[in-house]
Amino acid sequence: MVMYQLLFSPLSKKDAKKLSAAGLDIKAKALLDIIQQNPYAYPPPFEFLKGNLKGFISRKINRQHRLVYRVLEEKKIVKIVRMWTHYGE
């Protein structure tokens, strides 16, 4: 099986620190492990985003926070954009 390479945006790296402080880093790491193997794996559920985030995928870390990423299938890369809320902060 081909593993996907995870690339983190500068903003997602800042989000990782917030997740750690909030005690959500273990849940986020579990999701990252899943999408590194298969970004379309189900479960856990995911949704394709719309509007200005069209082309991105979102998975729940918890009720408020989301892991938002884009898959570059031809390069087997998953770009992690956010790991904190993508709703109005």
d(CA 32, CA 50): 22
Evaluate whether residue 17 is within a structural domain: yes
Evaluate whether residue 62 is within a structural domain: yes
Number of domains in the chain: 1
pTM score of the predicted model: 0.91
User: The CATH number of the domain where 29 resides is what?
Assistant: 3.30.2310.20
d(CA 36, CA 14): 20
Q: What is the pLDDT tens value at each position of the chain, 89 positions in all?
A: 789 999 999 999 999 999 999 999 999 999 999 999 999 999 999 999 999 999 999 999 999 999 999 999 999 999 999 999 755 54
Evaluate whether residue 31 is within a structural domain: yes
Evaluate whether residue 88 is within a structural domain: no
Range of the structural domain that residue 32 is part of: 5-82
